[in-house]
Amino acid sequence: MNNERHKYEYQIDTRSGTAPAQVIRMVGQNKRVLEIGAGPGSITRLLKEANNCSVVALERDESAIKKLACYCNKVVKADLNDPDWPQLLGDEAKFDVLVCADVLEHVYDPAEVLSGMTRFLERDTSLVVSLPHVGHAAIHACLFDSDFEYRDWGLLDRTHIRFFGLTNIAALFSGAGLKIVEVEFVTCEPEQTEFAARWKKLPESLKRELRANPFGLVYQVVVRAVPLANPRAAVDLRTTPISAIEQASRRRKSQRLRGFVRRHTSPETRARIRRIMNLVGLTKA
């Protein structure tokens, strides 16, 4: 196996609130999965090893395919910008779940690519998609500073050529004849993003206004979509209860706190903390 680290190769804590972890949980156990734009297999590996899924993957990057192949039943080299990509799968059997994690922002025509995916969806097949949210408060901070600077990673990854707000995400799926039936918001404080320096420069009054936006901390959006014939009820991204976003934010803060504790305390100290929490009736974060 190629030991050189790929740009999109990363470790995933499946207990966390990150987008890849949310994707893995949404897929579930023992599924036959078509993963579209699988990269070097960061998600694929856990779908196979932790969720006992069988995976057929599409990927165009040769260096990624070399790392990906060992986790898949089959890998098909495909460029999603070619509208004929679905034909490359031939007569593959039907899938339980399709996965498209942080991919649509990289293609020229996301609507066309999503439309291609619907060919593999039956009434009870679901599509799990993650997308970056351009409406994050940190992006507003960049715009206020007149600097829309592309980076090597994150919301303004220089390979992103499409950008999505919540309204755009909803329209993308409805336009493909799909309905969103489940959503998870991955939140991140502006100070914790790659644009922390931009945020710091904002006047406090503007920070307060941006924080008043209930969706301003949404960094990524993970959705499950199904064909319209599926009986599950659709959800409206723009009217999702704010409490759901607040809960996601609290989970992320709790994860950061746990990470800090793990880095700066010994196992014995952590055990004592857990015993004290149990004694006073507090549950673990």
Report the SS3 class of residue 8.
coil
Give the per-residue pLDDT at 238: 87
Q: Which of 101, 89, 93, 98 is nearest to 126 (CA)?
A: 98
Give the per-residue pLDDT at 284: 44
Those residues whose C-beta lies under 8 Å from the C-beta of residue 161, and which sit 6 or more positions away, are: 105, 106, 107, 108
| 7 belongs to a structural domain | no
| 27 belongs to a structural domain | yes
| 2 belongs to a structural domain | no
Q: What is the pLDDT along the chain (285 residues), one digit of tens a residue?
A: 456 777 777 789 988 889 999 999 999 999 999 999 999 999 999 999 999 999 999 999 999 999 999 999 999 999 999 999 999 998 888 899 999 999 999 999 999 999 999 999 998 999 999 999 999 999 999 999 999 989 999 999 999 999 999 999 999 999 999 999 999 999 999 999 999 999 999 999 999 999 889 899 999 999 999 999 999 999 999 887 655 555 555 555 666 666 677 777 787 787 777 777 666 555 443
**Calpha distance 36→27 (Å, rounded):** 13
Give the per-residue pLDDT at 278: 63
Please write down the long-range contacts of 70-75, taking CB distance under 8 Å and 24 or more positions apart: 70/1, 70/41, 71/41, 71/44, 71/45, 71/47, 72/35, 72/38, 72/41, 72/44, 72/48, 75/38
The total number of structural domains that make up the chain: 1
Domain with 241, as residue range(s), is 19-279
Percentage helix, strand, coil, to 5, in the chain?
40, 15, 40
The CATH number for 79's domain is 3.40.50.150
Give the per-residue pLDDT at 269: 80
| 284 belongs to a structural domain | no
Give the per-residue pLDDT at 161: 96
Give the per-residue pLDDT at 285: 39
| 153 belongs to a structural domain | yes
| 100 belongs to a structural domain | yes
| 14 belongs to a structural domain | no
| 4 belongs to a structural domain | no
